[in-house]
Chains A and B, each alone.
Chain A
Amino acid sequence: MTDVTEIWVYLSRAPLLWLTATLGAYAVGDALFRAAGRAPIVNPVMIAVTLLSALLWLTGTSYQSYFEGAQFVHFLLGPATVCLAFPLYENLPRVRKAWLPILAALLAGSLTAVLSAVGIGYALGVRGEVLASLSAKSTTAPVAIGIAEKIGGSPTLTAVLVIMTGIIGAVIATPLLNALGLKDGRARGFAVGVAAHGIGTARALQVNPTAGAFAGLGMGLNAVLTAFIAPLILKFFM
């Protein structure tokens, strides 16, 4: 009879185990999200991440071996980002019509994101590499890492801050925008994309395709603008 540990050793080396675990953890998170009446605080990403982290810790699995399985999910981020072209295309007439509010909201949102992150961080005693990593926290991860590397930030820390920002944004979006009395789905979606990149966009898509289209647009435009303004703003604090 084969020992259970032998089976475990075999399975834990194969990508299948952690790929299945990733989908399973997300399925649990999604089921809880639905059971909670789609309450934004019950964020499926946060639940899945917590479950998987606990599982990795309990089984003494390294992130590297986990990622061998999870990379298949991770890889799809690129193609999925490209798919945002579809809701954008379907909403193109509305986007054209709203070019002025889009431009104004982009400037306001991007500037506020960088200025307030760096300003609050500085006021609380954050300096140097960490402050530089904070500056692009609202930008989509690959761009944020690129910006941070140019201005003396740490790529790893930047990735951590970007993901945390996305989850925070996805959790606070609905209650915050409701409290502000905003009903325009274009304004809501766009602002969520600017402030909380792809994770915010994923949240906006859960609400409706128009909000999702404007969120994807906000994410893309914010990435470009932040690449230009983050180094300029950071100069005032260094």
Chain B
Amino acid sequence: MIHALLVILTAQLTGEALSRALSLPVPGPVLGIVLLVLALRLVPRLADLIRPLATGILGHLSLLFVPAGVGVVGHLSALGSQGPAIFLALIVSTALAMAAGALVFAGVARLTGNVDD
């Protein structure tokens, strides 16, 4: 487990360093995903090493958003009198974006005969 954690933290650390050094619009952890996929491609053995830890953490990914969520509650008043308008914009926009993305994905996949197997 220590080795798996070491691999993951190294990917994140390298991602953070690259993101800062090159002032990229991508945050370190997202860059870390790219780096870790590359590392897995180069050394497929790594997959078995990190599998238990990765599936364990990702199985409870939503837990990790709880502290930030609690912080949000304290700032709900920042929305002020515009609260209802903002809330409506968030709900409708999130639904529209999700529907547009999924419909276009499925539509293009069907047009190009790109079925999932």
Contacts and interface: CB of A to CB of B under 8 A. Distances in A.
A157 B50 CA distance: 36
Q: Give the interface size bracket for A toward B.
A: 35 or more
A191 B116 contact: no
B97 interface: yes
Contact of B37 (A92, A101, A156): A92
A134 to B, nearest CB: 6
Q: Give the interface size bracket for B toward A.
A: 35 or more
A81 interface: yes
A195 B94 contact: yes
Contacts of A154: 78
Chain B interface helix/strand/loop/mixed: helix
Contacts of A184: 105-106, 109, 116
A164 B26 contact: no
A125 B82 CA distance: 8
A117 B98 contact: no
Contacts of B57: 76, 79-80, 83
Interface string A195-238: 11011011101100010100010111001100110000000000
Contacts of B51: 86
Contact of B94 (A45, A110, A156, A168): A168
Given A104-B104, A143-B26, A198-B61, A82 B67 contact: no
A72 to B, nearest CB: 9
Contacts of A126: 82, 85-86, 89
A173 interface: yes
A98 B109 contact: yes
Q: Count chain A CB atoms within 10 A of each CB in B12, B88, B96 and give the residue with the most.
A: B96
Given A165-B94, A198-B65, 15 more contacts: A49-B73, A82-B33, A83-B53, A85-B33, A88-B33, A94-B116, A105-B105, A121-B89, A137-B90, A143-B25, A160-B76, A161-B86, A161-B90, A182-B106, A187-B105
Interface of B: 5, 8-9, 11-12, 15, 25-30, 32-37, 40-41, 47, 50-51, 53-55, 57-76, 78-79, 82, 85-106, 108-109, 112, 114, 116-117
Interface of A: 22-23, 25-26, 44-46, 48-49, 52-53, 56, 63, 66-67, 70-71, 73-74, 76-90, 92, 94, 97-98, 100-102, 104-113, 116-117, 120-121, 124-126, 130, 134, 137-138, 140-143, 146-147, 154, 156-157, 159-161, 163-170, 172-173, 176-177, 180, 182, 184-188, 190-192, 194-196, 198-199, 201-203, 205-206, 210, 212, 216, 218-220, 223-224, 227-228
